[in-house]
Amino acid sequence: MGFYVNPPNQSKEQFLAEKGTRVDLLSLRFDDIPKGTLPVVLVDNGFFTAAGIGYSASEVKAFCEPGDRRPKQAFLVRVEDLVKVADSEFQQYAKKEGLWDGIV
């Protein structure tokens, strides 16, 4: 299912504008992502948006699937910012994978 950004006090769009750096989704390669950051893809589903965290190469590849015609924007966001707006499962994943030291 994946991990998602859900800021409690602002919209996903506001969070990404403040904490993210916009990148081109189609040229995004997981191996080139700077250490300490992960891509977040904002997907327009029509009635709502979702902001999925690209936590692995396969997840990033899924976001780039050519058959998926939904509008998308990609951002690089520091992991320490993501753990504050994602659920505890992402926090556990980030700590286990050595992406985050566990301090909020």
pLDDT tens profile 21-73: 999 988 888 899 999 999 999 999 999 999 999 999 999 988 888 888 899 99
pTM for the structure as a whole: 0.93
The phi and psi torsions of 74 (rounded to 5 degrees) equal -115, 145
* Amino acid identity, position 11: S
**What are all long-range contacts of 94-100, with beta carbons under 8 Å and residues at least 24 apart?**
99/36, 99/38
- Which residue is it, tokens 């050595």? 98
Dihedral over Cα of 68, 26, 77, 34: its sign: positive
Domain chopping of the chain, boundaries:
3-96
52 in Cβ contact with 73 (< 8 Å) = no
